[in-house]
Structure formats: C-alpha cells, structure tokens
C-alpha cells in the first residue's frame, strides 16, 4: 500500500505542467536541505549554510557535447550562495553533497556552486 505522500506526488506528476514543476522543485529543495543536514550534522552549521543558500536548481545542460555520451541528457545541479565564506565551505564538501543528492534520487551529473548576484541575494528559501 502506498503512503499518502507518494500517492499525492504521483498524482501531481501525472497532471503535468505547473503542478508537476512545483512538485519537482519541492522534491529538489527537500533533497538539498537533507543533504546539507547530513554533511553538517550539527544544527548550527547546517542552518548557517541553508540561510546563505539563495537557490538550488536542477537543469538540463544544453551545450553541445562530444564523445560517446554526446546524445545523453546531462543534468547540472546549481547551488546559489550569497556569502563567499559559505560558498567556499560548500565547495570543499561538494562531492559529499553530490553523493547525498544522488542517494536522495536527484539525478545530476555535476554540482556547481555559483555566487548570488543582484536580486537573487534577497531570496532565502531555506531560512
């Protein structure tokens, strides 16, 4: 028997369009938050990282590719951070975060940490 959460998630995905997009964003954000809390197990550190996270995106990389995998879809996870010290800390733990995201079902091929610019600095979805 399926849980109510998985049943609702499946139903929303079947609707497609905006509801499915919002569901995917929520799943990605939940997985990111969980990964940060696993890498930084003490609550103060993980909360600091999440407070300075301005966004987490999963997007299809549409740049041309070469080699055997050139026809395969390549997904990039992007973490947008507003503080250089926090960005450096996340960068040193990039592979651990990447592994936790993969275990959570976020299928990305690369994890990028990028600085927040302009109005992006005002967003704090995890605070």
> What pLDDT is recorded for position 43?
95
Query: 84-124, pLDDT tens digit by residue?
Result: 999 999 999 999 999 999 999 999 999 999 999 999 999 99
Task: Give a yes or no: residue 39 inside a domain.
Answer: yes
Give, in order, the Cα–Cα distances in Å from 95 to each of 16, 18, 26, 35, 39. Answer: 32, 31, 22, 11, 10
> What pLDDT is recorded for position 115?
97
> Could you tell me the sign of the dihedral formed by the alpha carbons of 94, 28, 73, 80, in that order?
negative
Task: Give a yes or no: residue 46 inside a domain.
Answer: yes
Query: 52-83, pLDDT tens digit by residue?
Result: 999 999 999 998 888 888 888 999 999 999 99
Q: Work out how many domains the chain is built from and give that number.
A: 1
What is the residue-wise DSSP string for 51-87?
A: HTEEEEEEEE--S---STTTTS--EEEEEEES-HHHH
Determine phi and psi for 110, rounding to 5 degrees: -155, 145
What CATH number has the domain bearing residue 14?
3.30.300.180
Task: Give a yes or no: residue 113 inside a domain.
Answer: yes
Q: Which domain holds residue 94?
A: 4-122
Pairing of strands 110-115, 75-81: parallel
């Amino acid at each position: 028997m399926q849980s109510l959460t998985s049943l609702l998630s499946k139903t929303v995905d079947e609707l497609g369009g905006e509801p499915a997009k919002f569901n995917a964003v929520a799943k990605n954000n939940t997985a990111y938050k969980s990964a940060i809390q696993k890498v930084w197990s003490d609550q103060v550190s993980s909360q600091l990282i999440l407070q300075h996270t301005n966004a987490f995106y999963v997007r299809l990389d549409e740049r041309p590719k070469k080699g055997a995998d050139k026809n395969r879809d390549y997904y990039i996870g992007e973490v947008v951070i507003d503080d250089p010290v926090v960005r450096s800390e996340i960068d040193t733990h990039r592979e651990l975060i990447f592994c936790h995201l993969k275990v959570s079902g976020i299928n990305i091929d690369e994890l990028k940490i990028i600085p927040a610019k302009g109005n992006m600095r005002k967003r704090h979805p995890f605070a």
